[in-house]
Amino acid sequence: MNILILGGGGREHALAWAIRQNPKCDRLLVAPGNAGIAQIAECADLDILSRSAVLEFAQENAVDFVVIGPEAPLAAGVADALRAAGFTVFGPSEAAAKLEASKAFTKEICDACGAPTAAWARFDAEGPALDYVRAKGAPIVVKADGLAAGKGVIVAMDLPEAENAIARIFGGAFGEAGAEVVIEEFMTGEEASFFVLSDGERCLPIGTAQDHKRVGEGDTGPNTGGMGAYSPAPVLDEAVQAQVMDEIIRPTIAEMARRGTPFQGVLFAGLMIENGRARLVEYNVRFGDPECQVLMMRLGGQAFDLIQACAEGRLDEVAVNWAGDHAMTVVLAANGYPGDYEKGSRIEGLEGLADDSFQTVFHAGTAEKNGQIIAAGGRVLAATARGESLADARARAYALAEAIDWPGGFYRRDIGHRAL
pLDDT by residue for the chain (420 residues), tens only, comes to 999 999 999 999 999 999 999 999 999 999 999 999 999 999 999 999 999 999 999 999 999 999 999 999 999 999 999 999 999 999 999 999 999 999 999 999 999 999 999 999 999 999 999 999 999 999 999 999 998 877 788 899 999 999 999 999 999 999 988 999 999 999 999 999 999 999 999 999 999 999 999 999 999 998 898 999 999 999 999 999 999 999 999 999 999 999 999 999 999 999 999 999 999 999 999 999 999 999 999 999 999 999 999 999 999 999 999 989 999 999 999 999 999 999 999 999 999 899 999 999 999 999 999 999 999 999 999 999 999 999 999 999 999 999 999 999 999 999 998 888
Angle at 229 between CA 120 and CA 169, to 5 degrees: 35
Q: Which phi and psi (to 5°) does residue 113 adopt?
A: -105, 0
Burial class from Cβ neighbours inside 10 Å (0-12, 13-18, 19+) for residue 371 reads exposed
Q: What is the pLDDT of residue 309?
A: 98
pLDDT, residue 223, reads 84
3-state helix, strand, coil in the chain (%, to 5): 30, 30, 40
Q: Does residue 318 contact residue 282 with C-beta atoms inside 8 Å?
A: no
Q: Which residues pair with 359 in a beta bridge?
A: 356, 385
Looking at the DSSP assignment, which residues form a beta bridge with residue 158?
Answer: none
| Number of other residues whose CB lies within 10 A of the CB of residue 300 | 16
Cα 306 to Cα 204: distance, rounded to the nearest angstrom: 9
Choose among 185, 235, 186, 187: nearest CA to 211.
Answer: 235
Distance between CA atoms of residues 59 and 383, nearest Å? 35
User: Cα 356 vs. chain centroid, distance in angstroms?
Assistant: 23
* pLDDT score at 148: 82
Alpha-carbon distance of 199 to 246, in angstroms, equals 17
SS3 label, residue 115: coil
DSSP for residue 43: E
pTM of the model: 0.95
Q: What are phi and psi of 378, to 5 degrees?
A: -80, -55
